[in-house]
Every structure is written in C-alpha cells, then in structure tokens.
Amino acid sequence: MGGVLLIRKGPAKAVWLPQSWTYDALLESAAGELGGDLAQRLLAARLEVFGGYLAIDDLDADRFESFTGAVRHALENTQGGSRRAAFAELLALLRTDPRAREGEATGTIVIDDEHRWSAPRWLCDFVAAHLGLDSHEGVLDVRNRAAELLPEVRWMFERYGDAVGRGGNAPPVYAQIAAGVNALYDALRHSG
C-alpha cells in the first residue's frame, strides 16, 4: 500500500503515488522543515495515522511555495536510490503547478561541443536530481561524463519515456518528462 498526495484536481490533475515508506518519510521531513499547522496536517496524513492520504489543492500560493521548498530540502538531503527518484518526481509535479510561480526559466545540459539539451528548468533539475548532480543556475556541463551517465539516462528513458506515470498521475507533466528524457537519451547516444 502506498500514499496519495493530491496536488491539484481538474484537467491538469496531479497526484503523487509513492510507496508508503517514501510517502511517510517525505511528510515527516517536510513537517520538520515547516512547523506550525501545516506540519501538523502533514503528520496527520501519514499512512499509520490517516491511511496515507493528503490533499494540498487548497493551499494558497505562499503555503504551497513553503511546502515546495520543504520538498526541495528533503530531496537535497536524500542520497540516491528510489526515495530520491520519488522525491524528484514529486518536486517536478509541484513545480509545474501554477501556484509554484516558476516562470519560463530554461535549463541546459551541455553534452559535448555539438550537443546540448534544453528543457524547462524544472525538467532539467528533475534530470539532474536523478543523475545525482546539481544543475548550477540551470546549466549542467557533463562533457567529461556523458558516457558514464548514459546508463542512468537509459534507466530514465525506460521508466519515463512512454509518458506513463508510475509514481503519480499527471498526464500533461509525464508527457513533458517523456519528451524531454527521450530527447536527452537520443542526444547522449549520438554524442561523440
């Protein structure tokens, strides 16, 4: 059994559906970062307490931004593995929400002198988190590491390349992730 975190309803629906231990770990980490009534709400939504359901579609932009910051901090403090991947997926879902006030920022991965991959900043950061890298102001230079990163990007291609959300339900977001990951995988495979 896993947790359910409803981010938004409607045509642009976004729901995060992680494994239970990942869900509870995220809620506990975010609650520790936030404090106050929002922290109490997160702790009350843990699997052992409330069956693992939390809806945050009612959060105003400021509280949503605070929650997103707490998730970002949880991701930064989590080493590799499935928990980090799940936190990165949640952060992508949050950053595509209008309440996140992300803007049109773009991120770029420099693969070699001829190949660059550009995508919305949230997607570049999503990829960087999966690769265990920091995107440094939206630019990630992997010229000397492209070949060693190919297996991890191939894993991302296999997991996200078909646009099926396995860790959530947000068809428009997973379609963007699929297009971006497929393009990155293709660029890496064709780089020198």
Residue 13: both structure tokens together: 């629906």
For the chain, residues with pLDDT lower than 50 are none
Check if the beta carbon of residue 148 is closer than 8 Å to that of residue 179. Answer: no
Q: What is the pLDDT, as a whole number, of residue 165?
A: 67
Q: Give the per-residue pLDDT at 147.
A: 87
